[in-house]
Structure 1
Amino acid sequence: MGRAFEYRKARKMKRWAGMAKAFTKVTREINIAIKEGGADPDYNPRLRLAIANAKAVNMPKANVDAAIKRATDKDAANFDEVTFEGYAPHGVAVFVDATTDNNNRTVANIRHVFSKYGGNLGVNGSVDYMFERKGQFRVKQEKFKGDLEEIELELIDAGLESVEREEDEIVFYTAFEDFGSFQNELENRKIPVDNAELVRIPTHTKTLSDTEAEAVIKLIDMLEEDDDVANVFHTMDETE
């Protein structure tokens, strides 16, 4: 099965791994959503999405309610979305999405990881062009009702670009600008989304040896351990 298979398996197991990390990410999503569009999910699609993502990681309703209450407090910390771009070892491009209430802390932490693990932190725009920003919606196959091929054709008008099957999940992809309208369409059709977010898909990838890949994976793992880091995208080939 090889290194790439084991890497993909490990990455899947790590998705939202660790309850504390998952809850921190969702709590910050809720905070940002409320700051942008208010605390009523009926009128704030981003908040509805954050609450749905909270359910997907089994965050108790009491925790969700508490996160909403804290975010509406006038003294609540304000979280901002920030991005970082750079290179891991062996020329692999890395794009980091983060949320922070202390930009100086986050910059220092990200720079430290890149430096310590053989990478280089670049400037904004240094690797962004190597990725396409897409909307990603994950639906558990056991929860999906209806004929996928038929619904797929109907969803094209709402912005659907492609569909993939990943073990027990159906994954829908849209263009960045169609993310909101596609979310609304799935809600209207009562298709239960397990997780939805904006992702960055590499336009090309780089094949590495096992030893080279280990160095890149170490840097990525250390970035993902930081509570401020929401997502890490890269151009290492994972298909072998």
Structure 2
Amino acid sequence: MPKFKLFAGRKGAADQKKNNQFVKLARQIYVTAKQGGPDPNANLALKAVIANARAINMPVDNIDRAIKKATDQGNADNYEEIRYEGYGPGGCAIIVECLSDNRNRTAADVRAIFNKRGGNMGETGSVSFMFDKKGVIVIDREEFEVDEDTMLMQAVEAGAEDMETTEDHYQILTHPHELDQVKGALEAEGYKFAQAEVQWIPQNTVRITGEDAVKMVKMMDAFEDNDDVQNVYANYEIDEEELAKIQG
């Protein structure tokens, strides 16, 4: 299985980036609580979203406010989960997951981001076959003094399918339906997670350079800046030195 990277926000002030993350997570908490109930112990999906929010230090008041909003009978906000697919510069495959209260607005915004930066939006299913849907658990290596072999053994014993190691993280892969099981088993071992959620993992990657790389980074930035966009997955690779120049 190819290695994959976590795509973080790439521009703007750190405070603005974090605020954007809080806005998106608040919306996700609201929708998850509305669908499955406000009690995290009875709604495992909500429990997972709250854990991800706490991992980036989202204020407790923000979390509680989103849950309270979901239980307010007078609140008419209604968000729809929508997935868009398409191609970016250099033929990169892209999946965009959204939570929207206006499908027409979101579709127009996503299409404009694709078109403006040398890509094109396709039909649902046009690129998702190039990805595998997996549970992804991320453990910060600096927080836990455990070697790679031990971590892999514990992950496999917990029910994980595979593990990738980067300089900063252990990235544990599970079947989507077994994410909670593996997460619970590792929590019992004392681990905490930088991230634990279902993601689309590319089966293969496409290396891009030059103008295609510049356009791709700008496209990812635009998606991440859009409030309706919750997650973006892409199968591109950019050389680290070139990426540093683009971001610099």
Gaps of 5+ in 1: 1-7
Number of residue pairs matched? 232
- Amino acid aligned to 1:53: N
Between structures 1 and 2, the one with greater helix share:
1
Aligned partner of residue 201 in structure 1, secondary structure: strand
Give distance in 2, aligned partners of 1:64 and 1:158. Answer: 29
Per the TM alignment, residue 127 of structure 1 is displaced from its structure 2 partner at its CA by 0.4
* Percent identity of equivalent pairs: 36
Per the TM alignment, residue 61 of structure 1 is displaced from its structure 2 partner at its CA by 1.2
> Which residue of 2 is the match for residue 123 of structure 1?
123
> Which residue of 2 is the match for residue 37 of structure 1?
36
> Which residue of 2 is the match for residue 52 of structure 1?
51
Give distance in 2, aligned partners of 1:157 and 1:141. Answer: 19
Moved over 4 A (4+): 145-148
Per the TM alignment, residue 170 of structure 1 is displaced from its structure 2 partner at its CA by 2.3
Per the TM alignment, residue 114 of structure 1 is displaced from its structure 2 partner at its CA by 1.2
- Amino acid aligned to 2:213: A
Q: What's the TM-score, normalizing by structure 2? A: 0.83
Partners of 1:158 and 1:178 within 8 A in 2: no
> How do 1:23-172 residues align onto structure 2 when only pairs under 5 Å count?
23-76=22-75, 77-144=77-144, 149-172=149-172
> How do 1:195-206 residues align onto structure 2 when only pairs under 5 Å count?
195-206=195-206
Give distance in 2, aligned partners of 1:189 and 1:47. Answer: 22
Give distance in 2, aligned partners of 1:238 and 1:75. Answer: 48
> Which residue of 2 is the match for residue 225 of structure 1?
225
CA-to-partner distance for each residue in 1:145-187, whole Å, 9 max, x for gaps? 6565335324324331222333333221212232222222233
Q: What's the TM-score, normalizing by structure 1? A: 0.86
Per the TM alignment, residue 33 of structure 1 is displaced from its structure 2 partner at its CA by 1.8
Give distance in 2, aligned partners of 1:100 and 1:45. Answer: 22
Deviates most, 124-133 or 151-160: 151-160
> Which residue of 1 is the match for residue 183 of structure 2?
183
Per the TM alignment, residue 97 of structure 1 is displaced from its structure 2 partner at its CA by 1.2
Partners of 1:31 and 1:78 within 8 A in 2: no
